[in-house]
Chains A and B, each alone.
Chain A
Amino acid sequence: MSDPILRVENVTMQFGGVVAVDNLNLSIDPGQIVALIGPNGAGKTTAFNVITGVYQPTNGAVYFQGKKIIENHPQGKMKAQYKGQNAGAYSHVLSPTPDKITQLGMARTFQNIRLWKSQSVFDNVLIAMHCRRHSNVFSATFRLNRKEESAQRKRAQELLEIVGLADDRGELATSLPYGKQRRLEIARALATDPTLLLLDEPAAGMNPQETDDLTEFIAQIRWDFHISILLIEHHMDLVMGISDQIYVLDFGKLIARGTPEQIRNDQRVIDAYLGVAEDA
Chain B
Amino acid sequence: MTSEKRKKLLTLAVLAAALAACLVVDATLPSYHIAVKVISKASVYMLVAVSMNLLNGFTGLFSLGQAGFMLLGAYAYAVLTIPVAKRDSVYQYFDGGLLHFSLPEIFSFLGEDLGTLVGMLAALLVGGLLAALLAYLIGLPVLRLKSDYLAIATLGFAEILRTLFQWNGLGPITNGSNLLKSYPTFSRATSYVLLAGVLIFAVVLLINSTYGRAFKAIRDDEVAAEAMGINLSHHKRMSFVISSFFAGVGGGMMAMYMGTVAALPFRSSMTYEILLIVVIGGIGSITGSIIASFLYIFSSEWWLRGLDSGTFLGIHAPGLFKNGFRMAVFSVIIMVIVLFFRRGLMGDKELPDLLGRRPKKQKKEVAGK
**CB-defined contacts of A118 to chain B, threshold 8 Å:** 216, 219-220, 284, 348
Known: A118-B219, A133-B210. 11 other contacts (CB 8 A): A54-B227, A97-B232, A99-B228, A114-B227, A118-B220, A127-B213, A128-B228, A141-B202, A141-B211, A142-B205, A192-B229
**CB-defined contacts of B220 to chain A, threshold 8 Å:** 116-119
The reply on A30 being an interface residue by CB < 8 A is: no
**CB-defined contacts of B284 to chain A, threshold 8 Å:** 118
Which bracket fits the contact residues of B? Answer: 20 to 34
| 12 sampled A-B residue pairs with Cβ under 8 A | A97-B226, A99-B227, A108-B227, A114-B221, A116-B217, A116-B220, A118-B348, A119-B216, A130-B213, A140-B211, A141-B205, A192-B229
A residues near B (Cβ < 8 Å) are: 52, 54, 97-100, 102-103, 107-108, 110, 114-119, 123, 126-133, 135, 137, 140-143, 145, 149, 152, 188-189, 191-192
The answer on a CB contact under 8 Å between A123 and B213 is yes
**CB-defined contacts of A143 to chain B, threshold 8 Å:** 205, 209
Per the bound structure, the CA–CA distance linking A133 and B238 in Å amounts to: 16
Per the bound structure, the CA–CA distance linking A117 and B225 in Å amounts to: 12
One of A115, A116, A123, A130 near B229 (C-beta < 8 A): A130
Interface string of B265-309 (1 = CB under 8 A from A): 000000000000000000010000000000000000000000000
**CB-defined contacts of B216 to chain A, threshold 8 Å:** 116, 118-119, 127
The answer on a CB contact under 8 Å between A114 and B213 is no
Per the bound structure, the CA–CA distance linking A58 and B231 in Å amounts to: 24
**CB-defined contacts of A107 to chain B, threshold 8 Å:** 227-229
The reply on B99 being an interface residue by CB < 8 A is: no
**CB-defined contacts of B337 to chain A, threshold 8 Å:** none
B residues near A (Cβ < 8 Å) are: 202, 205-206, 209-211, 213-214, 216-217, 219-221, 223-232, 238, 242, 284, 348
**CB-defined contacts of B206 to chain A, threshold 8 Å:** 137, 140-141
By secondary structure, the B interface counts as helix
**Which of B206, B226, B232: most chain A CB closer than 10 A?**
B226
One of B202, B209, B221 near A117 (C-beta < 8 A): B221
**CB-defined contacts of A149 to chain B, threshold 8 Å:** 210
**CB-defined contacts of B210 to chain A, threshold 8 Å:** 129-130, 133, 135, 140, 145, 149, 152
Considering the complex, give the chain B residue whose CB is closest to the CB of A173. B220
**Which of A116, A132, A143, A192: most chain B CB closer than 10 A?**
A116
Per the bound structure, the CA–CA distance linking A129 and B224 in Å amounts to: 13
**Which of B213, B221, B242, B348: most chain A CB closer than 10 A?**
B213
